[in-house]
Amino acid sequence: MKIAVIDGYSTGRLLVAALRERGSRCVHVQSSPQMPEYFTRAFDTADYTELLDGGGDPAELARRLAGSGVDRVVAGTESGVILADTLTHLMGLPGNRFETLAARRDKQLMADAAAAAGVDVPHGRSFEDAETAAAWYRATGLREAVVKPPNSAGTDNVRFCRTADEVHDACKAVLCADNLYGQPNTAVLVQERVHGVEYYANSVSHDGVHRFAELWRYTKRTGSVGYPIYDYEEPVPVGSAEAAPVLAFVASALDALGIVSGAAHTEVMTTARGPVLIETGARLGGGTAPAVVERYSGVSQTGLLADTLLAPERLRDFRDASVTWSGALRNVALINPAAGLARSLDWTDRLRELPTLVHLAHGVVAGRHLPATSDLINSPGYVYLAAEDRRDIERDYRALRALEEEGLYT
């Protein structure tokens, strides 16, 4: 089988590896001429039989892919969602509903589509100027708001605000910046901040059937100027009582957004009023090591998507509620508390001495400036801690954070 991967960066690289292991050939399509170095630094052209430019006419690209025998088209990361879904529509391949295409990228349209289908979303609006946004926040009487770009990912320029002045400044910062993919922000989204327990569900769908490979519970912290910082996440068994209401809600959100065939990464906050949709990405979840996840649960979203692309009947037969986790596992985001020069990578050896560490991924380059961590993009990396006893993980997690406070990276 021949599969076209649109923007095969982030977890898309691992999807291509899984597809090649299963005997598939992959074609790469880059959706825009300039992709930030954050995404392209680990890209390997040798993974693909052909490299194509996706910046031209989608109809012409669709004809070219069809003529070369491409059987499936999939987004490798968030920036590839629009083009991937456009191509599946033009080529008549399994994909998502074309009518709701824009709602799978623009977070205001996403909230509108979800709300219209009865899915609870935060109260909010998008704006083209900071003054109007601040005035709206003041008029609503909200106690807290979340300000963010409508077309980005991770925690790029996301900020928690408590006053109209903070909303104004946060909106201005978004509107003056490019998003994570190098595109200028022409609007800014302001939403009520909802509180509760936050989860993300990594799903795979085909022909409207949704299966959940992973459900994780987030723990985040707030930085000194109101930016959310990833702390760690732990898996929740998909078949558990804790998972049931979250996943039923996510399935409704996937339907509302027209996600029919493909992967999705959905963030949900369970609140006093019930589950609330934060956002959904119609692609694989990022910041993950599928091999580690598979080692402790037997399945990963990446592996399940690869199987489904090659043989859709495997998804129908997959029983997500039967997946169990062996022991305890924690995915910990690395946090650099103070900017400085990364003098060496000796710190990686210190982390590998932690008894429960089973995986380390990082993008630190010796000799380069390392900023203080304010979002997912400038985090030094992440680690997985695993043990039979959760207390052992907690011990090593605290040791890691103590090392960071001492200046581990710089």
Structure tokens at 402: 């103590």
Q: From the CA atom positions of the chain, what is the Rg in Å? A: 21
Buried b (16+ CB within 10 A) or exposed e, 368-379: eebeebbbbbbb
CATH number at 2-93: 3.40.50.20
pTM of the model: 0.94
What CATH fold (topology level) applies to the domain 123-192?
Dna Ligase; domain 1 (3.30.1490)
Q: Which of 188, 124, 186, 112 minimizes the C-alpha distance to 157? A: 188
- Residue located via tokens 């380059």: 365
CATH number at 202-323: 3.30.470.20
CB atoms within 10 A of CB 252: 18
- pLDDT of res. 3: 98
Cα(370)–Cα(338) distance, integer angstroms: 8
Residues listed for the chain: 410
What CATH fold (topology level) applies to the domain 327-410?
Glycinamide Ribonucleotide Synthetase; Chain A, domain 4 (3.90.600)
- pLDDT of res. 224: 62
User: In CATH terms, are 2-93 and 327-410 the same topology?
Assistant: no
Q: Return the domain boundaries, the chain.
A: 2-93, 123-192, 202-323, 327-410
- pLDDT of res. 225: 61
Cα(199)–Cα(221) distance, integer angstroms: 14
The whole-number mean pLDDT for each consecutive block of 10 residues of the chain, a chain of 410 residues, reads: 96 96 97 82 92 95 97 96 98 98 96 98 96 97 94 83 96 92 91 97 98 96 75 96 98 98 98 97 94 97 98 94 95 96 95 98 94 86 97 98 96
Cα(65)–Cα(57) distance, integer angstroms: 12
The two most distant CA atoms of the chain are separated, in Å, by 58
Determine contact, residues 282/262, Cβ cutoff 8 Å: yes
- pLDDT of res. 226: 63
Query: Which one-letter amino acid corresponds to residue 84?
Result: A
